[in-house]
Structure 1
Amino acid sequence: MARVHISIGSNIEREKSVRAALDALHGWFGELTLSPVYESEAVGFDGEPFLNLVVGVDTTLTVQELSLRFKQLEADNGRRRDVPKFSGRTLDLDILTYDDHVGQVDGVELPRGEILKNAFVLKPLADIAPDERHPVCGITYSGLWQSYNRDQKLWPIDFTWQNRLISRAF
């Protein structure tokens, strides 16, 4: 069994898209470890704010199998691939970590570089895996978040899934 952390983001039909992703992940993997849901400013382009969270799952699927499922789920939820990389999207799922694998695995960079660059990835990852260590730099995710010094704004929001509040604005 591999422990996998997955980032979810959306800035088009945000609540619907995030709930659809959580429903699919729950159907595939069962129990999910969920970070709070954060709203964040678009990074790299002018656009509507995003909803972001990180989900932890245990799976026997390979990186390639996960990647294919995630691409199909994105497409099923209206994700367009014929637009610039930095643009709005209904759904974006990225494999952040797969156990402690490092390097290119089935065409996926592990651990994903955005962990060290983007608050909307690092903060929710630190929320659910504070004591786990980044497999390259060896620092815990909580330590990385404590030393994060980029000017990216995000804030937790109230969010319900399956008729229960899974995230609360502080």
Structure 2
Amino acid sequence: MTLAYIGVGSNLERHQHIQASYQELLKVSNHLRCSAVYECQPVGFDSHAFYNLVIEIETSLSLLELQQRLKQIELKWGRAKDAQKLQDRTLDLDILLFGEQVSIDNPVLPRSDIFNYEFVLKPLYQLNPYLVLPDDCRTVAKVWQQFEKKGSLTVVEFKFTP
């Protein structure tokens, strides 16, 4: 089993799609831990606010199998096949970490979003602050400590149902 961290985001029908991501990931893993759900404004474009969180899973899937499964879930829940960066999302699922794996190919691991976006780093910090990031040698807590916090995240009351 591999411990993986999935970044989850939605800014269209947010509650429905965040709940759907949880239910779909329950089909991939029987071990799920969720960070709090955070609301934040989109980065790089003007639109509706996003809900973001990180979900920790244990999976027997390979990295490629997990990546394909996440893509299928996104498409099932209305993401356009030709979706571009900097646009609205029904559901965005990104592999942030996959065990100790490091990759410079698709998907890049650890995902650079961990180091660039508070809406990724803060929920990851909440789930596992002492996790050592592969190929970086710092803990998530150390990255969080050194991160320039903008304070733009708001915790959202959210109850996940299986």
User: Normalising TM by the smaller chain, what interval?
Assistant: over 0.9
Q: Distance in 2 between matches of 1:116 and 1:152?
A: 16
Structure 1: which 5+ runs fail to align? Answer: 164-170
Asked if 1:11 corresponds to 2:11, the answer is yes
Match for residue 136 of structure 2?
137
Residue 59 of structure 2 aligns with an amino acid whose one-letter code is T
Alignment length, in residue pairs?
162
Match for residue 67 of structure 1?
67
Q: Distance in 2 between matches of 1:84 and 1:94?
A: 14
Residue 154 of structure 2 aligns with an amino acid whose one-letter code is W
Asked if 1:52 corresponds to 2:69, the answer is no
Identity %: 37
Structure 2: which 5+ runs fail to align? Answer: none
Q: Give TM-score, length-normalised by structure 2.
A: 0.94
Q: Distance in 2 between matches of 1:79 and 1:122?
A: 24
**1:108-151: per-residue Cα shift (whole Å, max 9, x none)?**
10110100000010000011011001112211112211221153
Q: Quick check: 1:8–1:93 contact (8 Å CA) kept in 2?
A: yes
Q: Distance in 1 between matches of 2:88 and 2:4?
A: 25
Match for residue 151 of structure 1?
150
Give the C-alpha shift of residue 77 in structure 1: 0.5
Q: Give TM-score, length-normalised by structure 1.
A: 0.90
3-state SS of the aligned residue for 1:115? Answer: helix
The alignment yields a C-alpha RMSD, in angstroms, of 1.4
Asked if 1:98 corresponds to 2:134, the answer is no
